Amino acid sequence: MHLKKKDKQTLKENNMRNNKKTIAVIGAGTMGSGIAQVAAQNNHSVVLVDTNKKNLESSKSKLQKILNRIVEKGKITQQKAIDIIDNINYTDNINSIASADLVIEAIIEDLKIKNELFIKIEELVSDKCIIASNTSSLSIASLGACLKDPERIIGLHFFNPAPLMPLVEIIPAVQTNKSVVDSCKELMNNWGKTGVLCKDTPGFIVNRVARPFYGEALRIYEEGIADFATIDWAMTEIGGFKMGPFTLMDYIGNDVNYAVTCSVFEAFYYDPRFKPSFTQKRYSEAGYLGRKSGRGYFDYEKENLNLAPTKDVELGKAIVERILAMLINEAIDAVFMQVANVEDVDLAMTKGVNYPKGLLKWGDEIGLENVLEILNKLYEDYSEDRYRPNPLLKRMVKSSLNFYS
Ligand code: NAI
């Protein structure tokens, strides 16, 4: 086969682009270990740094177990598994990151500690090295502010488990250079990830848009409309979600989910749309954290004590309608406030938290006028700002527009 000069050039460029990069991941916990695995699977040379030697050892042995399982299933060869492990240098010596093209920080969620680390990183790496954070709740602008060259900062927010969840929210700060965004988009694409571009705003896309899934479910329970099991039954059996809100909160951990809600609520200057729930606070205080403590909204040790759902279809439909309308309103607000575009908001929820459909597409299907009517009724009933329909929703209904047409 003869390649034309132009094709040869393209091939050369592609090869250069796919060149083995050095990726440094700092923090060998849940997220850092997963991100290091993804980079190593994509043939990069990975340096995984942690101050805690035990965590490094545990990260390595966990990866070995995961790889053994994948080899047994025939998904990768034994040689590929060996290569993946060989690609990762597990170390507690931060100086090993000197040759990195990209550093992804995944340490404890604390601005002061992250800033101290970022200053150190910048002293060690080259001028061209991109510095990324996997933070869930801190602003990328605040992380970049400590750098001499803040144009190289970016948020790369992976989802747990990073090797399995396709979504990565790509978050430029106000300081970030466009070329940094472009190369991160390309890299995530090369890693087979779904990268969505997102404004540096609290909760980014997923942790902002998903809030009513938990908050409205808790509110429905608190008003005595239905119990946990019935709400979960409605959302899975009628709504088509993979997991009900209470089962999911029990998975995430009530303490963790409550902390995220509080942080988003505070960051939005106490907008009542994001108000945390007393029920969740009490469950956390009681140590009913979910699966990890054996008991949350459901009992995982004495499962026979859990109530069966009241399979009342009319009630179920009303529950789904209410939570879904709130979710769609939140997705519309993300578009309205330019957090992300329509496609990326929908991709974020289907690829980051496995929603059965993109919320904006779902809104079109239900009919935006119907979504508006549900919200108007709630708003009228409660006179609470929490239920106010988004201006973009009102405008679209007025002009008979859809998100996808
Ligand atoms: P983790 O607690 O599992 O791991 C953190 C690791 O960082 C620990 O091994 C710790 O020894 C290490 N560490 C702490 N300070 C360090 C330092 N100065 N230098 C080097 N290593 C240090 O935490 P996890 O859950 O992996 O979270 C890490 C980051 O990812 C946080 O910013 C979190 O908000 C974010 N995130 C977490 C998600 C999750 O589901 N757990 C999802 C997406 C983002």
Q: Residue 263's pLDDT is what?
A: 94
Q: Residue 144's pLDDT is what?
A: 98
Strands 153-158 and 167-172: antiparallel
Within 8 A by CB and 6+ apart from 1, the residues are: none
Pocket flag, ligand 1, residue 30 (CB < 6 Å): yes
The Cα 125–Cα 102 span in angstroms is 9
The Cα 253–Cα 364 span in angstroms is 33
Q: What are the tens digits of pLDDT across the range 65-111?
A: 999 999 999 999 999 999 999 999 999 999 999 999 999 999 999 99
Atom 11, ligand 1: residue with shortest CA distance: 52
| Ligand 1 centroid – CA 214 distance (Å) | 24
190: tokens are 């090369």
Q: Which of 122, 169, 321, 330 is catalytic?
A: 169
As separate numbers, helices (DSSP H) first and strands (DSSP E) second, the chain gives: 18, 8
Q: Which of 44, 157, 257, 263 is catalytic?
A: 157
Residue with tokens 């509080």: 262
The Cα 96–Cα 196 span in angstroms is 30
Q: Would you kindly state where each structural domain of the chain is located, as residue ranges?
A: 19-197, 208-398
Ligand 1: nearest atom to the Cα of 113: 18
Atom 12, ligand 1: residue with shortest CA distance: 27
Q: Which of 136, 139, 257, 329 is catalytic?
A: 136
* 56 has a pLDDT exceeding 60: yes
Pocket flag, ligand 1, residue 113 (CB < 6 Å): yes
CATH, domain 208-398, list 1.25.40.420, 3.40.50.300, 1.10.1040.50, 3.40.50.720? 1.10.1040.50
The Cα 104–Cα 223 span in angstroms is 44
* 330 has a pLDDT exceeding 90: yes
What is the separation, in whole angstroms, between the first and last Cα of the chain?
44
Say whether 44 is catalytic: no
Residue 338, Cβ neighbours under 10 Å: how many? Answer: 9
Ligand 1 pocket test: which of 108, 251, 353 has the largest number of ligand atoms within 8 Å of its C-beta?
Answer: 108
- Residue ranges of the alpha helices (H) in 29-175? 30-41, 53-72, 78-87, 111-124, 140-144
Q: Residue 289's pLDDT is what?
A: 97
Average pLDDT, the chain: 95
Distances (CA, A) of 197 to 136, 173, 233: 15, 11, 34
Contact present, 323 and 218 (Cβ < 8 Å): no
Q: Residue 19's pLDDT is what?
A: 67
Q: What is the identity of the amino acid at 248?
A: L
Residue 190, Cβ neighbours under 10 Å: how many? Answer: 14
Contact present, 140 and 154 (Cβ < 8 Å): yes
At the topology level of CATH, where does 19-197 sit?
Rossmann fold (3.40.50)
Ligand 1: nearest atom to the Cα of 114: 18
| Ligand 1 centroid – CA 104 distance (Å) | 11
Within 8 A by CB and 6+ apart from 354, the residues are: 242
The stretch 333-345 carries a mean pLDDT of: 98
Q: What are the tens digits of pLDDT across the range 255-275?
A: 999 999 999 999 999 999 999
Say whether 136 is catalytic: yes
